[in-house]
Amino acid sequence: MKDNKAKGMVYLIGAGPGNPDLITVRGKECLQKADVIVHDYLVSESLLSLGDSDAEIICVGKKSGRHTTSQKEINNLLIEKAHRGSTVARLKGGDPFVFGRGGEEAMELSRAGIEFEIIPGVTSAIAVPAYAGIPLTHRDYSSTACFITGHEDPSKGKSTIDLDALSKSPGTLVFLMGIGNLDKIARRLIHGGRPSNSPVAVIGNGTTPSQRVITGTLADIGQKVKDADLIPPGVIVVGDVVNLRSHFNWFESQPLFGKRILVTRPEGQAEGFIKTLSELGAQHLLFPTIKIAPPSSWKQLDRAIEDLSAYDWILFTSANGVRYFFERLHSAKKDARYLNGIKIGAIGPKTKRALMGRGVCPDLVPDKYRAESVVEELERYSLGGKRILLPRPLIARDYIARKLKGLGAIVDVVEAYQTVQPEYSQDLIGKVFKNGKADMITFTSPSTVTNFLALVKGKPISEEIRKMEIACIGPVTAQRATEAGLKVSVVPDEYTVDGLTRAIVEFYK
């Protein structure tokens, strides 16, 4: 509980240009310890998720020039929260002191006697051109770069920017927040003496998978941007360095750049997949269709753990099974030593890693990560009369248990966890697809297919989904999708998320 008499602390944090990975280490640290997060409209949701789950989150930004909160109200809010003893993270796009009004907020905090810290951010003036393949300076093209606001305070009446003088500079000009005034800026530069054929680039949504770049000259860039329907936010770059984009366009050359890929994996297990897709240039849409939950009852698993010495084999089919098995093992005040003499099998590298993390090296890991391969490997052993434990969900493919029983084994399938359908608000599907349909939907288990189709049933997007490209982690999942009328385009040879990612890249090549 905060002492109401104590004054808190305000961190003015630069969130960077849009890509959440570009926040500074210090910015991330201060965000994570904040009691209150006050953020601009364009700040990424993934940055907000870095904060404490109990933190109060307040949006005070603006969208396309429409303020939700006045600057005076923002200043007062920061002071009020700090006076209550809260640690406040004021998360601002780009850098707080580069056209971010951070100076105004810092001044009011200073006057109120509130302690604050300025945490610089990666300004979009530098980062966005870099992601568009445009260096602001280059020994052969430009030795100077000038940052200019493209949207001055209208209450000033008269502009304080001397565009006539700037137009005569041979260096690079970078305008922020200027797309709405692009025609006016171009005319003023030409009038001031800048050649009408000077190269120009206008970059929208820079550093993100939805980045768009329109290039032209001062004479035609306005019309080109209108034709392309490019809307704010954006950065305008004027200068010969724009021509280097044809050589340095690294970001948009990524194999999945601009692709919108829907991920249906459970939340908490999708992070690695999402990160890899993002690194390859894709825009991910996270829509978990299953949730991993404890079993309906622990009785079966607890009884099996109590009787562990009776088993000859334990087969783990997923990392989730490993997690819940060992949680209950520890609850029974036992550890990996109680597995001594029991052979351990694991399907897939993640299941193997989960076991290794518990100090257990599996005796059996099939080359192919599917049930059939496990059975083929186990056929080499004499299983007649052997007792085998399968900790897994009850609603799962019964192939392994059935085949092992056919080989004479005594198989106990016990519920270690269950997969359930998450609860969603009625408008979530609309939010997921708000900017148009996905290019591809990925499924990593048959249950993700079943639950996803149940969630979209009757929605306007339902029929569109049947025309989209579908990627499935393996043939069993692909069969479920095909039976449901979906068009499966990608099934990897290696039935892992990494294999699925490689197959998606190959498909789009």
DSSP assignment of 55-112 equals: -EEEE--EETTEESS-HHHHHHHHHHHHHTT-EEEEEESB-TTSSSSHHHHHHHHHHT
**CB neighbours of 312 closer than 8 A, spacing ≥ 6?**
342, 343, 386, 387, 388
Active-site option among 177, 259, 350, 440: 177
The residue written with tokens 């990593």 in the block is: 444
State the number of CA atoms in the 13 A half-sphere of 198 facing the CB: 25
Q: What's 201-263 look like in SS3?
A: EEEECCCCCCCEEEEEECCCHHHHHHHHCCCCCEEEEECHHHHHHHHHCCCCCCCCCCCEEEE
Active-site option among 9, 35, 40, 259: 40
Residue type, 219: A
493 is an active site residue: no
* 234-238 and 199-204 beta bridge pairing: antiparallel
CA–CA dist 96, 40 (Å, integer): 11
440 is an active site residue: no
Tokens of 468: 């989209």
Active-site option among 2, 62, 226, 487: 62
Distance (Å) of CA 269 to CA 135, 255, 266, 272, 273: 38, 23, 6, 7, 8
**φ and ψ of 151, to 5 deg:** -145, 90
CA–CA dist 210, 282 (Å, integer): 9
Active site residues: 40, 62, 177
